[in-house]
Structure 1
């Protein structure tokens, strides 16, 4: 078709009275209603998920006599921050915070490195017994020795009343290794071949070639590990009797069960302050529960958004091979 014929055809299609072509990316009324319903539905779902955290916060900064009656639901009443100042005076809380932070940071770093390295090694065909060890690791996801044998093992290894009981049992997690292995398999094999041609050994290939390119899946594993470490309290209940090794979550468990006696202790520690301020700032079992819960939950709430952009990409690339 010549240029003149093309211009004539174009004028014919756009001549007055002719029907214009429908836009390719236009939305019908049904599409708009469907999208709007989706936005409303997911917004309501997000509000339902966020409200329990909001409820904890507003009750922790409201007048304690009002929050004890359950009358604080949407907005704070009698705003004050004395609950946090008094809760920090509860025995064992600063040391428990250090222990929880230590186990979370150290445990997360070791878990991420171990998962990435094992995931990388299980992709190496020259690894001795690769298929056997990989299947042996996967079996541990479905079978457990039970509480008593595990406790005996920990006691035999000298890990009871030991900080490392929080870290070592969580270093190798089969699910995390699977994610790392699948992610490594999705990376170009030519990267390793080029490094081997340059004389790099297996550790240099892992730390200099693969590890820097595994950021999305490493962030995903870090989130899983950090949340597990921070929220864990049963290992303290089972293996620890030394109060200096109590975690923040275990103290929260104790505080909730002993909220009445702790409220009285906080009132006594407050002394004249509690007498001057009156019932509004006088500690109650409800204020103890709310305030300590906020202190325990806030770190994870602040950390998660930092890794969220890596999380979605990592969980998709690490879970689907192709």
Structure 2
């Protein structure tokens, strides 16, 4: 037998055998099973509180008030939502929350994208100083009273823009975008500059369209922060027309008893069903308003989910 035949037979033998390390052992199967079971439990633990709110908000109020609704809704009705939407100021607060979330998220995303890009430009004057100056604000803040004085001197108290302007520059988002931009091919900018593009045109035409994963990640973080924020309303706002939905939720929870009576009276005036199952209770107020507040932000996640993991990983790890 020739050496060539032996080599060919040996090559065929090696190609037929499965690659080493790819065989699934019994330990691998057990690990996958246990791993899947643990994550299933975690998913249930995370999802159940939201499910609990929803089933209690659509269950008979007298049963829900006794705490007897745990797994499935009982005496399903939607009168709670009809009556809660008649509470004073809820529609205005929802409009304010939507406006601050949309405008605040757009401003934060655009500022983070531009500053993250500029901090990678060697031609930027004092680039290292300004980058460190922005990052250091992640660790130090002036405090509540100085911030209130600043906002008051700037005329932002009882002003809608107090919801937007202080959130525009977010150091953490800028760091994510900067790291992401540094991982993009430098040849993109060099080719644009050869064609005569300036810094702004390079950013808006070349880089911005290619930042979708990291910008979607920033958008999720910014939108959730804006939607859930209520402390700025508590500190800076006394005008009721500028109250946010989250702040009203905070007030509703603290005043659930009186609001339940008000909702019952409003329902009676409008000819609503006046039995024990549909009359508002403190529990039904809390559950229904909580559902109204959390549902919109929950629907945002599926829209950006495909970008989220890729964006946060590529923006957080260099190289």
Question: TM-score scaled by structure 1?
Answer: 0.94
Q: Distance in 1 between the 2:196 and 2:8 partners? A: 63
The verdict on how the C-alpha distance between 1:5 and 1:145 changes in structure 2, with shifts beyond 3 A counting, is closer
Q: In structure 2, what is the equivalent of residue 36 of structure 1?
A: 33
Pairing of 1:56-205 with structure 2 (within 5 A): 56-205=53-202
- The offset of 1:308, in angstroms, is 1.0
The root-mean-square deviation of aligned C-alpha atoms, in Å, is 1.9
Q: In structure 2, what is the equivalent of residue 291 of structure 1?
A: 288
- 298, 303, 321: which is aligned to 2:318? 321
Q: Distance in 2 between the 1:160 and 1:10 partners? A: 78
Q: Distance in 1 between the 2:8 and 2:185 partners? A: 49
Q: Which runs of 5 or more structure 1 residues have no equivalent in the other structure?
A: 15-19
Cα contact 2:268–2:274 (8 A) shared by 1: no
| Corresponding position: 1:248 with 2:231 | no
- The offset of 1:239, in angstroms, is 0.5
Q: Distance in 2 between the 1:40 and 1:197 partners? A: 55
Q: In structure 1, what is the equivalent of residue 304 of structure 2?
A: 307
- The offset of 1:191, in angstroms, is 0.6
Cα contact 1:62–1:80 (8 A) shared by 2: yes
Deviation by residue 1:255-291 (Cα, 9 ceiling, x = unmatched): 0000000000000001167774410001000000000
Q: Distance in 2 between the 1:111 and 1:210 partners? A: 17
Q: Distance in 2 between the 1:161 and 1:257 partners? A: 23
| Corresponding position: 1:282 with 2:279 | yes
Q: Which runs of 5 or more structure 2 residues have no equivalent in the other structure?
A: none
The verdict on how the C-alpha distance between 1:30 and 1:304 changes in structure 2, with shifts beyond 3 A counting, is same
How many positions carry a matched residue from both structures? 316
Cα contact 1:267–1:274 (8 A) shared by 2: no
Cα contact 2:98–2:227 (8 A) shared by 1: yes
- The offset of 1:30, in angstroms, is 1.3
Q: Distance in 1 between the 2:127 and 2:19 partners? A: 56
Cα contact 1:88–1:94 (8 A) shared by 2: yes
Pairing of 1:250-265 with structure 2 (within 5 A): 250-265=247-262
- The offset of 1:224, in angstroms, is 0.6
Q: Distance in 2 between the 1:100 and 1:162 partners? A: 14
The verdict on how the C-alpha distance between 1:276 and 1:228 changes in structure 2, with shifts beyond 3 A counting, is closer
Q: Give the match's secondary structure for 2:275.
A: helix
Cα contact 1:274–1:282 (8 A) shared by 2: no
Question: TM-score scaled by structure 2?
Answer: 0.95
